[in-house]
Amino acid sequence: MTTSEARTRTAVTTRLDRLVHEVRETVARCLPPDRTAHLVGERLAPHLGAADLLTGRQCEGDPGHYRQHVLHAEPDGSFSIVSLVWLPGQRTTVHDHVSWCVTGVHTGREHERRYALVPGDDGPRLVATRDVVNEQGEVCGFAPPGDIHRVWNAGEDKAISLHVYGADITRLGSSVRRVYEPPAGER
């Protein structure tokens, strides 16, 4: 699918259009990435859980892996908004990002494990630093460096989250900068 097809195939609800406008205004302030992520999170939070935010199609999962629906890619490449649909047991790789990122749980809950690279005798190694359960309505934001994590749905029901990235992922193909091998004992 081309970038223009991705933009034109996405149905936009009135609420999603309002969110896009709010994010656009925030990103246009050209603040540092961590500050931008914080302010975008404040704009995203009031929309989470609203029945009129996403269409039924934007809430569809895939039994093989978590599913990403591109909701908006700003024409100037400054941000993208996607919904990620997680069926029970689905997870990401351990990864970091190409830009600042804000995530908010629309329905269900997401589990997240955060990591740090620490010096070791054989070079840097990945160490889990924190496990977080993000409930419906909760928002978190981060900016590289220090944004290594993994996300999964440990529940019995579908979970949906919205992610706002400070880049056009339809042009880049992904928000992931690097994928890491999980520490020993994790799969």
What would the pLDDT profile of 54-109 be if each residue is shown by its tens digit? 999 999 999 999 999 999 999 999 999 999 999 999 999 989 888 899 999 999 99
Chain-wide mean pLDDT for the chain?
89
What is the reported pLDDT for 175?
A: 82
Tokens read off for 88: 């029970």
% of the chain exceeding 70 in pLDDT: 94
What whole-number distance in Å separates Cα of residue 109 and Cα of residue 39? 22
pTM: 0.88
Answer whether residue 160 shows pLDDT above 80: yes
% of the chain exceeding 90 in pLDDT: 68
Tokens read off for 135: 């409930």
**Structural contact between residues 80 and 20, judged by C-beta atoms closer than 8 angstroms:** no
User: What one-letter code names the amino acid at 124?
Assistant: P
User: What one-letter code names the amino acid at 33?
Assistant: P
Tokens read off for 28: 């246009």
- SS3 state of residue 94: strand
Q: With cut-offs at 50, 70 and 90, classify the pLDDT of residue 9.
A: very low
Q: With cut-offs at 50, 70 and 90, classify the pLDDT of residue 120.
A: confident
Higher-confidence residue of 117 and 7: namely: 117
CA dihedral 65, 66, 70, 73 (to 10 degrees): -100
* Strand 109-118 to 149-152 pairing: antiparallel
Residue identified by tokens 């997401």 is: 110
Q: Which residues contact 122 (CB under 8 A, 6 or more apart)?
A: none
| Phi, psi at 121, each rounded to 5° | -60, -35
What is the reported pLDDT for 5?
A: 34
